[in-house]
């Protein structure tokens, strides 16, 4: 075998090995999950089976813990809550939750994990704006749901105010819906203890009922 032939064979083998390695790493990547499709329909993050998706609830664990199909009394609601995820990570799954099924509307709420991790406010706002614009670009109505306070006087709730104030201005500028349910959880700028779990971050199930009522009002305003 001459030198030229050996070189060609070596290159071919290397290309094949690189392709196999790339496939292996891609298959092991759990940070960007795919939509679960099967013969029984679409399965959301909580294992609910849907035949169609009209409404997506996109967010972190606070969104994930809501029984949205039950609260909204409809079976076309996809729970896209991802526990522990930041706003940048949530932008990754738009291709899985939104693009394939083009839902009519998507309610987006994030930021809690970003704040906990000390991510700069400017970066959080940029990520949130990117998510909202990406949802709208698909033809889905984006609805911003503000980041809620921690039920802890030492928590960086002032930073949360900065994020929400900037996003409210952004939504007004872009004509996006800003669904502010914070007054339900707070009175006179103080969080209502009865709605929060002992970790001062997550919500008791009783908090999801008034939240869902506001979602229903938004859906009705768009005829969905």
pLDDT in tens, the chain (224 residues): 554 444 344 433 343 433 433 333 333 333 333 444 444 578 888 888 888 999 999 999 999 999 999 999 999 999 999 999 999 999 998 988 889 889 999 999 999 999 999 999 999 999 999 999 999 999 999 999 999 888 888 888 899 999 999 999 999 999 999 999 888 877 655 677 788 888 888 988 899 999 999 999 999 999 99
Alpha-carbon Rg of the chain, whole angstroms? 21
Q: What's the CATH code of the domain at 212?
A: 3.40.50.1110
Same domain, 110 and 172: yes
Same domain, 20 and 47: no
Same domain, 98 and 1: no
Look at residues 11, 42, 119 and name the one whose alpha carbon lies nearest to residue 128.
119
Same domain, 113 and 185: yes
CA distances from 180 to 32, 132, 145, 165 (A): 29, 16, 6, 11
- Domain with 190, as residue range(s), is 34-221
Same domain, 72 and 6: no
Same domain, 66 and 26: no
pLDDT of residue 145: 96
Same domain, 89 and 176: yes
Same domain, 15 and 83: no
How many other β-carbons are positioned within 10 Å of the β-carbon of residue 96? Answer: 15
Same domain, 18 and 117: no
Beta bridge partners of residue 203, listed in sequence order: 196
Number of domains in the chain: 2
pLDDT of residue 40: 55
Residues making up the chain, counted from first to last: 224
Same domain, 112 and 196: yes
Same domain, 81 and 9: no
| φ/ψ of residue 57, rounded to 5 | -105, 105
Beta bridge partners of residue 178, listed in sequence order: 144
The three-state DSSP-derived secondary structure of the chain is: CCHHHHHHHHHHHHHHHHHHHHHHHHHHCCCCCCCEEECCEEECCCCCEECCCCEEEEECHHHHCCCHHHHHCCCCEEEEECCCCCHHHHHHCHHHHCCCCCCCEEEEECCHHHHHHCCCHHHHHHHHHHHHHHHHHCCCEEEECCCCCCCCCCCCHHHHHHHHHHHHHHHHHHCCEECCCHHHHEECCEECHHHECCCCCCECHHHHHHHHHHHHHHHHHCCC
Q: Are strands 41-43 and 49-50 parallel, antiparallel or unpaired?
A: antiparallel
How many other β-carbons are positioned within 10 Å of the β-carbon of residue 207? Answer: 22
Q: How far apart are CA 45 and CA 108, in angstroms?
A: 15
Same domain, 213 and 130: yes
Beta bridge partners of residue 57, listed in sequence order: 79, 107
> Using an 8 Å Cβ cutoff, are 38 and 21 in contact?
no
């Amino acid at each position: 075998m001459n030198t030229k032939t050996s070189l060609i064979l070596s290159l071919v083998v290397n290309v094949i090995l690189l392709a196999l390695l790339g496939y292996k790493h891609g298959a092991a990547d759990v940070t960007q999950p795919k939509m679960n499709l099967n013969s029984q329909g679409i399965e959301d993050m909580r294992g609910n089976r849907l035949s169609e998706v009209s409404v997506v609830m996109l967010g972190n664990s606070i969104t994930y813990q809501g029984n949205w199909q039950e609260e909204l009394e409809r079976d076309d609601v996809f729970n896209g809550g991802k526990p522990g995820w930041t706003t940048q990570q949530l932008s990754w799954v738009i291709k899985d939750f939104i693009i394939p099924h083009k839902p009519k509307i998507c309610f987006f709420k994030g930021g809690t994990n970003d704040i906990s991790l000390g991510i700069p406010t400017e970066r959080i706002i940029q990520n949130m704006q990117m998510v909202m614009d990406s949802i709208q670009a698909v033809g889905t109505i984006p609805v911003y749901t503000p980041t809620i306070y921690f039920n802890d006087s030492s928590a960086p709730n002032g930073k949360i105010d900065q994020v929400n104030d900037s996003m409210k201005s952004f939504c007004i500028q872009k004509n996006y819906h800003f669904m502010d349910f914070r007054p339900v959880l707070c009175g006179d700028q103080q969080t209502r203890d009865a709605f929060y779990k002992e970790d001062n971050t997550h919500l008791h199930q009783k908090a999801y009922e008034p939240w869902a009522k506001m979602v229903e009002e938004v859906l009705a305003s768009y005829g969905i």
